[in-house]
Structures are given as structure tokens and as C-alpha cells.
Amino acid sequence: MRVTNNILFDTVDRANALSTERLVAASRVASDGVRVVKPSDDPAAFATIVDDDARLAVLASRSKTIGRVTAELQTAETTLASAGELLIHARELSLQASNGTLDASSRAVIGVEISQIRSALLSMANTRGSNGYIFGGTRTDTPPFDPTGAFVGNDNAMTLEIATGVTLRVNPSGARAFTPAGGRDVFADLDALATALGSNDLVGINTSLDTLDADHRQVLSTRVDVGLTCERLSSSTDVTDTAVEVLRTARAQLSEADIVGAYSNLAQAQSAYERGVQVSKTILSVSSVNRG
Amino acid sequence: VVAPTTGSIGVRTNEFFASMNALSASPTDDASRADVVAKAGSLAQAFNDASAGLTQTRVDLLSRAQSVAGEVNDKLSRIATLNKAIIEATSLGNPAADLRDQRDVLVGDVSDRIGARSIEDKDGSVTVFAAGMTLVERLQAVTLSVAPDSTGALKIQATRPGGSATDITANVTSGTLGGLREARDADIPAVTSRLDQLANDIATAVNTVHATGVGLDGVSGRPLFAPPTGVPGAAATLAVDAAILGHPERIGASPNVGSLPGGNQVAVQLAQLAGAALGSGTTTPAQRYGSITGDFGITKASADSDLQMRRDTVSTAKTLQESASGVSLDEEMVNMTRFQRAFEASTRVLKTADELLAGLMQML
């Protein structure tokens, strides 16, 4: 085949354009370390990256909400622990008052202390968290227990998705902790004890020993439920964190460039470019016309 | 346009569902509610921007197609003029090589733009064909016009001098004009249609669940996005419902009035839509968007590869043409030297003969 000067120029031109294009692409990958920036870089990988990003967003968001709810539940657990201790103290006072040697005035003094315990317990049952009143079910905007100890909240659940398709109740049940919904009306029991102490009613005082035991078990049971919920949330966080790591690794493998490979490609592209320029110079300078 | 590096539909969708998830943990929190409204607005805006970008690209492509048609018209007219000059020169026995060269370049340019072929007639004129019709015949050239038809698609017409316009749209399948037409009226509408479907399905799915929720004002049945009037145009018109804009307390997070204000189950269900099959399909919103961008990427990568292949083909053809008809300066230099030497040799022969004759004359 005859090689004309136009063929020579066109060949050099095309070779240089290709090596420049390759050099620019290799420079971009080596400088930002990202292999897939736009869909045409690797269409299948781009679609998978979009899906991975959505999964990561869901997991990150889930992790955040679990953290927030866990903080709320820890407040509830601490509050229920303190409530349990108050009830133990109330039972100890009740046991002390049931001693037959105590006179009416001493029992009346214990009755005053029981009333103070009741007030402290009422205050605990009306504890506020970042989402409002903790023990009011979904009625978080008003104190769930009025001054008489009557429950004005509800026992509706607030749920959270802790894994795909798995939801869990995440608000503690004030109804089951303090009201007959859990078995006993804790505030009514304390009121009954205070009344029995005030009226020096030994039978009533003795009866309260059993009811306070039941009250304590009831509060404890709700505390255990809260603790179990915290544990499930914690294990869900672990699973979520692991899934995030796995997905991030998978995403990085798809989207990010192997740095060593990227630099190697850049070096190759640069070398090819320089060789191309040198070859062009040589080819274009070789002509019998120039030697004329 | 479809997959910008920041603020893509995929990113905005993720942010929207994440804000809904955050709301499920704090249904009474004003900031969380306001964030849901803001993120819904950003998602709608991402759809609007993508749709507007595609529409603008179609407008740009129409303008470019009209420019290309203008260039083709100019070149067709010049080919006809050159035909006339060549016919006249040929009739006088002049091959008119320069004029033919000029005409060949113009025919090549027309071919680039509309995929034309040409045949040279006995009188020296060329007839140029493309898109199923004759564009230039001897001294006459058709005029191409490009305009949108009633559906907004490109309509390419060819008008003969003094004749009526012929619709050649369907036959314009190659060259720059064919490529512009395919990109504008096939590739972009396909993506637009899929984005419309996605916007419609997301809005419908979200609205269906949201309507079951009760706002803090005790009202249920509200849509979160303005209900799409249909699939076509859904991406362009997606917006947060007017009743929700500026009223984050109206977001229906609670399943019933009795669960207010802390009820969150509807917010949980809305957040779960991120991982649920959308509409009548089997893929999540992200997978659907990934599929759209992936297919778009395949189209682009395939076009790039096709372009490279065609460039190589053109280059090979040009090389062969050049090899047959081009000039190698080296070869010509060698030839020139050879002929120069031959000339010098013959001159020497003449000189020798002259000297011999001169000697002979002197002897006589």
C-alpha cells in the first residue's frame, strides 16, 4: 500500500488524539481515585452503586433513629429502676409500720413519708424525654398521670423498623408499669397504705405488704421489657453496622479505583503519550523533501 | 442531567426516606416534620430539574438539527451550482478538475450530515440521493426544513423548487441529522417517560400511605405530594402538596386520632417504602432509578463505542482512498529526481550529438 503524506499525518493525528484521551482519563482516575463517576463509565456498576447508596442511606438512618430511641429508653429504664427502689422503700416502711409495738402517731408519721414517696413516684411516672412524656404511650404531650394518680395517657405503641420488615415497640408502657393494665394500680395501692397508716389500720397495713410486692414486680417487669428492647436495639445496631461495613466495601470495590493500578495506568498512559509525540516528531521529520 | 454528581434523584430519594425514618423516631418534633417537607420538596425539585434538563436538551437538539439542515441546504445549492459549471466546462472539453474536487468535498459534507450517496452522470453532473429521495439533480437542489410536528417530534421535509414538501422524517436514519433525530425523539423521550413513571409511582405510593395517616391537627386523607394528573409530565410537575407546604404539622405520621401526637406507624410505613417494590413492579425506587441511569449509561457507552468503530472505519476507508489517489511527496520526489536524471541524460546525449556534429562540420 502506498503511504501518502496525508495518510501519515492522519495516522499521527489519530494516534496522538487516542493517547491524549487515554492520558486525560488515567489522570482523572488517579487524581480523584474514583473509577465510576457517571453511568457511562460502567453502567452495570453505576446501577448497583445507586442501589447500594439507597441501602446505605436506609441503614445509616436506621442506626441514627435507633440511637435516639435507645437514649429515650435508657431514661425510662433508669426511671423505672428508681421507681422500683421507691416501692421497696415503701414496703420497708410498711413492714416497719406493721410492727404491733408502734403507736398511731408513729404510723401517721410513716404515712406522711408514704405520701411523699407517692408524690416522687408520680413525678417519675410523668418523666419527660426528648419526645415528650415517656410513659404516656403515644399521648406524649400531656402528663400521663394526673395529681390523683389517674392514668390519662394511652398504651398505644410507637414502633420502629429495626431490620428490613421487622418492627419493634420502642416506647415503654406506663400503663403496664403503674396501672391496673399491668395488674395493680400502684398509686391507688400507695394511697390505700397512706390511708391505713393515717387511720392506724393494721389490717390495711398488712395487706399493703402484698400489694407493694406486686407493685414492685409490676414495675420491675416493665423495666425488664425496656431492658430487653434496649438489647434488641443494640443487637440491631450491631447488625446494621456490620451491614454498613459490608455494603461500603462492596460499593468501594465497584466505584473506587485501585490506587496502585490507577497510578500504573497513568504512568503507562504518560509513557505512551511521550512515545507517541516522539514517534510523531521522527516520522514527520523523515522526508526526502526535507533533505533536498 | 439524569445522574448529576450532586443532588441526583437517587440522592434526594434516599434523603427523603431517611427524613421520614427520622420522623418515625420523633413524630412530635417540629424540626423533623419540617425536614420531611423540605426533603420532599428537594426530591420533587430533582425530578423537575431532570425533566427540565431533558426538555432543554430536546430544544437544543431541535435547534442543532435546524442548523444542520441549513448547512445541508447551502451545500446542496452549491453542488447544483457546481454541477452547472462542470456541465458547461465538460461540454467544452475541459475536465474541470478543480470544480469536481470542490463538489466532491461538498458531497462528502452532505453525506456526513444526512448519509447521502452520489452518482456522476455522463454530462459531468452528480445526482445526490439521501433519505429515499433525490436531493440534487443536475441544476436543481431540494430544500430541507426541520420543525417540530404536532406531537413535538422532529419533522424533516424536503421541498423541490416549485414543488410541494415531502415528509422524509422516517427515512432520515443516518448522518448527523439521523443521529440528532434518534437522540431527540427516541432516546430522550424514553428516559423522560421512565422518569415520569418513577415520579408518578413514588408520589402515588407515598400519597397512598400518607393518606392513612393523621396529622397533628387530627385530619387524615391528605396527600404528601400533589397528586399527579397522569404519568406523562409527572416528573416535570412533581411538587409537595399545597396543603402540606408550610404546614409540617399536617404530615400524617400517626395511624389514628387516638394515637396522636406520638403515633408514628404511618411514618414507619412511609420510611419502609424505600425498600419496597414500587407500583406494580418488583423493584425499589433506588433500583428503578439505577436501572434508568444504567440503561442510559449503556446507551451512551454503546454510542461512544459505535462512534469509535465508525471513526476507525472512516479512517481505513480514507487510508485506502488516499493510497489510491493521494500523493506521496517522497514518491514524487524520487520520480522527479528520476525524470530529472533522464532529462539530464537526454540533454547529455543531445550535447554529445551536437559536439559530434560540430566536430564533423569542422572536419568538412
User: Looking at the predicted structure, is the pLDDT value of residue A289 above 70?
Assistant: no
User: Looking at the predicted structure, is the pLDDT value of residue B165 above 80?
Assistant: yes
Residues of A in contact with B24 (CB under 8 A): 65, 159-161
Contact predicate A159/B265, CB 8 Å: yes
**Nearest residue of A to residue B259 by CA position?**
A138
- pTM, two decimal places: 0.85
pLDDT tens digit sequence for A5-54: 777 787 888 888 888 888 888 888 888 888 898 898 899 999 999 999 99
Query: What is the structure's pLDDT at A29?
Result: 83
pLDDT tens digit sequence for A184-241: 999 999 999 999 999 999 999 999 999 999 999 999 999 999 999 999 999 999 999 9
Min CA distance, A136 vs chain B (Å)? 9
Query: From CA A109, how far away is CA A107, in angstroms rounded?
Result: 5
Give contacts of A 105-144 with B, CB under 8 A: 130-132, 136-141
Name the most confidently modeled range: A118-122, A248-252, A256-260: A118-122
Is B333 close to A6, i.e. CB distance below 8 A?
no
Query: What is the structure's pLDDT at A15?
Result: 83
Query: What is the structure's pLDDT at A288?
Result: 61
Q: What is the mean pLDDT of chain B?
A: 93
User: Looking at the predicted structure, is the pLDDT value of residue A291 above 70?
Assistant: no
pLDDT tens digit sequence for A92-143: 999 999 998 999 999 999 999 999 999 999 999 999 998 899 999 999 999 9
Complex-level ipTM beyond the 0.85 threshold: no
Phi then psi for residue B170, to 5 deg, are -65, -25
Q: Which whole number is the average pLDDT over B316-323?
A: 82
Is B25 close to A132, i.e. CB distance below 8 A?
no
Is A158 close to B21, i.e. CB distance below 8 A?
no
Query: From CA A83, how far away is CA A219, in angstroms rounded?
Result: 7
Cis peptide before B261 (omega within 30 of 0): yes
Q: Which whole number is the average pLDDT over B75-84?
A: 96
Query: What is the structure's pLDDT at A292?
Result: 47
Confidence of residue A290 (pLDDT cuts 50, 70, 90): low
Is B14 close to A141, i.e. CB distance below 8 A?
no
Query: From CA B206, how far away is CA B13, in angstroms rounded?
Result: 12
Query: What is the structure's pLDDT at B317?
Result: 84
pLDDT tens digit sequence for B245-296: 999 999 999 999 999 999 999 999 999 999 999 988 899 999 999 999 999 8
Is A40 close to B15, i.e. CB distance below 8 A?
no
Confidence of residue A76 (pLDDT cuts 50, 70, 90): very high
Q: Tell which residue, B330, B313, B124, B256, has the closest CA to residue A5.
A: B330
The enclosing H or E element of B145 equals strand B143-148
The Cβ of residue B356 has, within 10 Å, a number of other Cβ atoms equal to 10
Better-scored residue on pLDDT, A24 or B79: B79
